[in-house]
A and B are shown apart, each in its own frame.
Chain A
């Protein structure tokens, strides 16, 4: 590789990473808006939020937290592996991450369907009967965990693409920025859940 190429590639690496961080900042601002909505309503309807939160399944919430934290670990380890040139180890960790993410979504599916089965969904007669506070709590619950869930789905798609690229050696010991940026995204999804979990499941 000549010197010019080297410089260009290095800049590309730094630029790509910075671009990813900037995108992550916009994601943070998106969720900040929603958290702001949540906290202003919570200060207005603190009793109703408390009652409604007690209905959420803490066990599923805790299990899902552990699953996402573990998936962050496997994601980080997959990047470690590719940096060391261990292609198949990296693919295995990526596959494990996808598996954990699917597990998270399956739990979410059961959680949501149990709530819907009990008549708790936006605009349901049951909720409208309970008054504004609880309606807003569950509305925000579906909105925030829903948007977070979409991010998890996007993450699964991204990691699947990365796995294919790693198999084809397009991601390798020398060029791994795509995988690294996917990792950054995945950790951000994890961070958002770290806040969602106490905010919805653990109102004391």
Chain B
């Protein structure tokens, strides 16, 4: 049973992560109130990605998982980035 992932993240850590997520939610609502235009939507995507990373690392245990799963996730994220990037090259030069 040694290799089984029996790692228990403390109650306290989970609550701290949850509080951080709530703070980031408040932050993203506050930022959208300021009229930042283009950089405003970029900020909201960055905050969303921060929140997603917290969920992945702690709630989904990625921090304590074997590297293989992290590598697979990175591959997926990179694929998504390439798809989005290539699409936007098209969109930007089309209109």
Contacts and interface: CB of A to CB of B under 8 A. Distances in A.
Interface in A146-204: 183-184, 187-188, 190-191, 194-195, 197-199, 202-204
B16 to A, nearest CB: 11
A73 B15 contact: yes
B83 A187 contact: no
Nearest to B77: A28
Q: How large is the interface on B (under 10, 10 to 19, 20 to 34, 35 or more residues)?
A: 35 or more
Contacts, number: 123
Contact of B56 (A6, A76, A191): A191
B32 A202 contact: yes
A204 B34 contact: yes
Interface size range on A against B: 35 or more
Nearest to A70: B18
Contacts of B34: 204
A190 B14 contact: no
Interface string B52-73: 1001101110000010110011
Interface of B is mostly: helix
A62 B60 contact: no
A204 B33 contact: yes
Contacts of A51: none
21 contacts: A10-B3, A13-B4, A17-B69, A18-B68, A25-B76, A28-B80, A29-B79, A65-B25, A66-B25, A72-B55, A183-B59, A187-B59, A191-B52, A194-B52, A197-B25, A197-B28, A198-B28, A202-B29, A204-B35, A204-B40, A204-B44
Interface of B: 1, 3-6, 8-9, 11, 14-15, 17-18, 21-22, 25, 28-29, 31-37, 40-41, 44-45, 47-48, 51-52, 55-56, 58-60, 66, 68-69, 72-73, 76, 79-80, 83-84, 87-88, 91-92, 95
Interface of A: 6, 10, 13-14, 17-18, 21-22, 25, 28-29, 32, 36, 39-40, 43-44, 58, 62, 65-66, 69-70, 72-73, 75-77, 80, 83-84, 183-184, 187-188, 190-191, 194-195, 197-199, 202-204
